[in-house]
């Protein structure tokens, strides 16, 4: 018999990979952990955009991977590890403490003080492999929706405008927007409070960012009347 085809063609057979049973490697990087319940796995990541004057705006997105609920879109010119910690603390007060939190290896997420604080809170950190954004797939999917459905259709004339509209979109995403992975239901319908939002179309309109001008006015007088 002749030599195997792979050898004649100068190919190499990849070594057999050992089964991975751990949730993270020795250096803390993520292997895999599929969310099984609420507050089991959270994940967070940054997205960048710009205001009309070309200045950078950063958004810190924090989600529950199981429920798909977006807990926060913190919008600032700059965001560091201290801002990440403050955002986590506020969300944990409202929603409880997650068992795990997933992120990339950005300096804001691997800061010593942040890791120490999370350990005290009882949350295990999971860091994805460098250059492997698919390991943070839930947050990457959310970032894509945020960009396609919101950021690409907006021109922000100020940081404040970006903050207000990002929060409105977050509420719309959580309470109205259907999710195919959830049977076409929103991730947090219980967040809909008719008393504070109004009823029918008027209530929905307060959540959806309306057309606006550089000076903060609204292009549609009927929409303006709702705000």
HEC per residue, the chain: CCCCHHHHCCCCCCCCCCCCCCCECCCCEECCCCCCCCCCEEEEEEEEEEECCCCEEEEEEEEECCCCCEEEEEEECCCCHHHHHHHHHHHHHHHCCCCEEEECCCHHHHCHHHHHHHHHHCCEEEECCCCCHHHHHHHHHHHHHHHHHCHHHCCECCHHHHHHHHHHHHHHHHHCCCEHHHCCECCCHHHCCHHHHCCHHHHHHCCCCCCECCCCCECCHHHHHHC
Over range 66-90, report the average pLDDT: 95
Over range 134-154, report the average pLDDT: 86
Confidence of residue 135 (pLDDT cuts 50, 70, 90): low
pLDDT value at residue 31:
55
pTM above 0.75, yes or no: no
Lowest mean pLDDT among 70-74, 106-110, 161-165, 201-205: 201-205
For the chain, which domains are there?
24-150 (3.30.420.10)
In tens, the pLDDT along 6-61 reads 677 767 666 666 554 455 555 444 556 788 899 999 999 999 999 999 999 999 99
In tens, the pLDDT along 168-223 reads 999 999 988 877 767 767 776 554 443 344 433 334 444 444 544 444 454 443 33
In tens, the pLDDT along 111-132 reads 999 999 999 999 999 887 766 6
pLDDT > 70 fraction of the chain, expressed in percent and rounded: 66
């Amino acid at each position: 018999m002749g030599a195997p085809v792979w050898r004649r063609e100068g190919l190499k057979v990849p070594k057999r990979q050992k089964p991975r049973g751990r949730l993270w490697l020795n250096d803390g990087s993520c292997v895999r952990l599929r969310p099984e319940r609420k507050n089991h796995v959270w994940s967070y990541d940054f997205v960048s955009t710009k205001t009309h004057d070309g200045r950078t705006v950063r958004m810190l997105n924090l989600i529950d991977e199981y429920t798909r609920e977006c807990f926060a879109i913190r919008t600032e010119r700059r965001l560091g590890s201290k801002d990440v910690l403050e955002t986590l603390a506020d969300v944990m007060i409202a929603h409880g403490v997650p068992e795990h939190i997933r992120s990339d290896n950005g300096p804001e997420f691997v800061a010593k003080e942040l890791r120490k604080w999370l350990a005290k809170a009882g949350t295990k950190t999971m860091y994805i492999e460098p250059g492997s954004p698919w390991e943070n797939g839930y947050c990457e999917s959310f970032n894509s929706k945020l960009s396609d459905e919101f950021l690409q259709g907006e021109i922000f004339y100020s940081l404040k405008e970006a903050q207000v509209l990002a929060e409105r979109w977050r509420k719309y995403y959580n309470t109205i927007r259907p999710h195919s992975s959830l049977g076409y239901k929103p991730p947090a319908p219980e967040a809909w409070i008719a008393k504070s939002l109004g009823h029918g179309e008027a209530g929905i309109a307060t959540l959806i960012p309306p057309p606006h001008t550089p000076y903060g006015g609204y292009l549609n007088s009927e929409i303006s009347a709702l705000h």
